[in-house]
Amino acid sequence: MIEKKLFGRTGHLSTRVIFGAYALSEATQRDADCVLELLLEYGVNHIDTANMYGDSEKLVGSWMKKYREHFFIATKTRKRRSKGTWADLQQSLKLLQIDQIDLLQIHGLTGTIGWQEVMQPGGTLETFTKARDKGLVRFIGVTGHGIKAPEMHLRSLENFPFDSVLVPYNFALMQKPRYAMNFETLANLCHQYDIALQTIKAIACRPWGDHPRTYHTYFYEPLDSQEVIDLAVHWVLGNPQAFLITAGDILLLPKILDAASRFQSRPAEEEMKTLVQTFDIQPIF
């Protein structure tokens, strides 16, 4: 089974691996049911989805009649103003077939203009807090892709006590000094205020080139052998603060869960440097 840890100050004892339901965005119900069996086998009790992930919310919703009490459900919106945010929230509740979302997240908040829209009166954050007051949402988070994510999350946390953040995190990316500095500053702040630290892109290898894409991972070509996935996953889990959100392809999910179930310690730095050189791993941002 996969190790569990309190998810920040939410009180949820979460598996340190969270199912990234982008993997279901083009899946069939049969695919989704196979994924459900796998999640239950490994004890995964936390799902991260989003309104814009194709059929993901609908497929996760099909599990909720029987398994709502088992899963902590997180979803997201990209909307920056109240009207669109409220519409997304209502649609998410309907598709997920639940009365309350455990964690609602402002998605991809790394641009200055969008950040200003979200934070001002009539913006997404105001709508989120009203939804929380109405009991439609329990906790509020913020997510970000790209090199600016940790820095922008620090700015966001200066303005609102978010319950969780989500950032890219892997060995190759942390070799960028400025990114590593901002990530560590963010991680220290999360530790101080008991904010859940979610991470993505654990098994990213390099940006997709011109060759045909063999996996559904949107931003990047993934590592795909069990041996190298083990190293990448174990490196992330070697940070005791980190929660790892699985990659966006159901073919990779069994390997990630298998790796996580066998985690004992973080691989040595020299071993990770050899991995980077052998597989020509490149930061994707």
What is the percent of the chain with per-residue pLDDT over 90, rounded to a whole number? 94
Instruction: Specify the pLDDT at position 177.
Output: 96
The DSSP secondary structure of 134-191, one letter per residue, reads: TTSEEEEEEE--STTHHHHHHHHHHHS--SEEEEE--TTGGGSHHHHHHHHHHHHHHH
pLDDT(245) > 90: yes
Could you tell me if 106 and 124 are in contact, meaning their C-beta atoms sit under 8 angstroms apart?
Answer: yes
Chain mean pLDDT for the chain: 96
Provide CB contacts within 8 A for 23, sequence distance 6+. Answer: 35, 216, 246, 247, 248, 249, 250, 252, 253
Q: Are 128 and 106 in contact (CB under 8 A)?
A: yes
Half-sphere exposure of 236 (CA within 13 A, CB side): 30
**What average pLDDT does range 136-141 have in this prediction?**
98
Q: What is the mean pLDDT of residues 197-216?
A: 89
**pLDDT score, position 283:** 83
Cβ proximity of 88 and 112 under 8 Å: no
Q: What is the pLDDT of residue 214?
A: 82
Half-sphere exposure of 63 (CA within 13 A, CB side): 27
How confident is the model at residue 206, as a pLDDT? 93
Alpha helices in the chain (DSSP H): 29-42, 56-67, 82-96, 112-119, 124-133, 149-159, 177-193, 226-237, 253-261, 269-278
At residue 106, does pLDDT exceed 90? Answer: yes
First to last CA, the chain: 33
Residue 24 has pLDDT above 80, yes or no: yes
Give the confidence band of 217 by pLDDT, cuts at 50, 70, 90.
Answer: confident
Q: What is the average pLDDT across 11-20? A: 98
Instruction: Say yes or no to pLDDT of 117 above 90.
Output: yes
Mean pLDDT throughout 191-209?
A: 96
The answer to whether the CB of 241 falls within 8 A of the CB of 250 is no
138: amino acid identity, one letter: R
pLDDT confidence of residue 266: 98
Mean local confidence (pLDDT), 67-96: 96
Which residues are bridge partners to 101 per DSSP? 137
d(CA 282, CA 172): 6
**Residue 218 pLDDT grade (very low, low, confident, very high; cuts 50, 70, 90):** confident
Task: Give me the pLDDT at residue 285, please.
Answer: 85
**Rounded Cα distance, 203 and 80, in Å:** 30
Mean pLDDT of 195-211: 92
124-127 long-range contacts, Cβ below 8 Å, gap at least 24? Answer: 124/77, 124/79, 124/80, 124/81, 124/82, 124/85, 125/160, 126/82, 127/82, 127/85, 127/86, 127/89
Residue 10's pLDDT is what? 98
pLDDT at 154: 98
